[in-house]
Structure 1
Amino acid sequence: MEKRDYARFAVELPVSLSGSGVAGGGLVSGLSARGCTVVSDELIQAGTTLALHIQLPGQYAPLKVDLAEVRWAQGREFGLEFVRLRLEEKARLQRFISALLRKAQGGGFQHAS
């Protein structure tokens, strides 16, 4: 089993996906500073590149990931690595991850396996 360098958190965040002939939505079920796990009705193959809009709680504008690559896919679930994120979006993601980490340390959030 591969050890992760970044904490991954169990979440339920709406996401829209687009790219390579794919347009659809799903739910982010695991999130880290480097990537996420998505559950979707779309059948996505490993190696596919996508743009993502992730709806963070309490924020009007979605988090925009300009480019993410599917690293693995199993049925309706797939793992993405964030390849290109604008600096301001990376900062927003880091603030959200930091808030999740604070909540996890206080017992309010679960780390995803």
Structure 2
Amino acid sequence: MQSRGRHRVPVGYPANIQSDTCAGEGTLLDLSPTGCRMRSDITLDAGTYLALEIAVAQERAPLAVEVSVVRWCKDGQFGIEFLRYRQGDRERVTHFVEAMPSYQAPVSAYAESTLSTASV
């Protein structure tokens, strides 16, 4: 498995989602300067372009990602790549993420449980 170029931080921020075909709300589960993982009840497909407005608890103004794309979908969760921020918001996200400790993706926990199940 290829490692990520940037670390990500766990969050629980609400976001407004807007695409050409739907609008709704979701919750960011983790965040990096280049994207996020989020959960939502709306149906999105890989390749869908979105605009996101993210309400960050420590910030007065929401973060705006003007253009992002869904890279993967599974069980109501989505991997989102940020393509274009509102002016100044890329720096805000980068500063915020760098100030927080990173964490390892739950993939390692899944791999451990798979290995322990396979050895039973």
TM over 0.5: yes
Partner in structure 2 of residue 111 of structure 1: 103
Amino acid in the other structure paired with 2:18: S
Question: Larger strand proportion, structure 1 or 2?
Answer: 1
Q: After the TM superposition, which residues 25-104 of structure 1 pair with which residues of structure 2 at under 5 Å, given as runs?
A: 25-100=25-100, 104=101
Alignment: residue pair count = 105
TM-score by length of 1: 0.86
**1:91 CA drift (Å):** 1.1
Structure with max Cα Rg = 2
Identical pairs, percent: 35
TM-score, normalising length: structure 2: 0.82
Cα deviations by residue, 1:12-42 (Å, 9 ceiling, x for unpaired) = 1111100121200110001111100010011
Cα deviation, 1:52-78, whole Å, max 9, x if unaligned, reads: 011111222110000000000012100
Q: Secondary structure at the match of 1:42?
A: coil
Q: CA RMSD in A?
A: 1.3
Query: How many angstroms apart in 1 are the aligned matches of 2:21 and 2:15?
Result: 17
Structure 1 gaps of 5+ residues are 105-109
Gaps of at least 5 residues in structure 2 are: 106-120
Q: Which runs of 4+ in 1 moved over 2 A?
A: none
Deviation of 1:112 after TM superposition, in Å, equals: 4.3
